[in-house]
């Protein structure tokens, strides 16, 4: 199996873990204000699509790569970052806000890197390399 495909399977596993961590967004849809309701629904749809893309990536399905492209702006908008778990390192800095912001920035950069790796994976699949 090519390294790109192994990395995509890891991303799929991380997507499923992320979706499970944020499943409460699906059950806590709020309609108190119109904008809040729309954002709640979009967040829930994004979390569900994370689970779906995770399964697709684990199974090596081509459509899952395109779902990852579609999710990218929503991941950034709702801070549903694949590598968001690195913010837990902030506990080592006693909850320092500057350290937390730096870790969020790093997680967002890693999310961008993830999309770039996905682009290279799709290109190599189309070229028949993998």
Give the whole-angstrom CA distance, residue 22 versus residue 45. Answer: 11
| pLDDT tens column, 54-110 | 999 999 999 999 999 999 999 999 999 999 999 888 888 777 888 889 999 999 999
CA atoms within 13 A on the CB side of 23: 6
Question: For the chain, what is the HEC assignment?
Answer: CCHHHHHHHHHHHHHHHHHHHCCHHHHCCCCCCHHHHHHHHHHHHHHHHHHHHHHHHHHCCHHHHHHHHHHHHHHHHCCCCCCHHHHHHHHHHCCCHHHHHHHHHHHHHHHHHHHHHHHHHHHHHHHCCC
Give the whole-angstrom CA distance, residue 3 versus residue 16. Answer: 20
Q: Which of these, 89, 81, 88, lies nearest to 107 by C-alpha position?
A: 81
| pLDDT tens column, 11-59 | 999 999 999 998 876 776 666 777 777 888 898 899 999 999 999 999 9
pTM: 0.87
């Amino acid at each position: 199996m090519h390294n790109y495909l192994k990395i995509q399977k890891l991303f799929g596993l991380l997507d499923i873990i992320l979706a499970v961590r944020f499943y409460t967004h699906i059950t806590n849809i709020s309609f108190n204000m119109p904008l809040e309701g729309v954002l709640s629904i979009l967040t829930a749809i994004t979390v569900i699509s994370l689970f779906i893309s995770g399964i697709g990536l684990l199974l090596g399905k081509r459509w899952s790569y395109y779902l990852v492209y579609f999710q990218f702006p929503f991941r950034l908008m709702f801070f549903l970052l694949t590598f968001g778990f690195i913010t837990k390192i902030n506990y080592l800095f006693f909850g320092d806000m500057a350290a937390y912001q730096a870790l969020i920035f790093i997680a967002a950069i890693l999310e961008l890197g993830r999309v770039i790796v996905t682009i290279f994976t799709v290109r190599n699949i189309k070229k028949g390399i993998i």
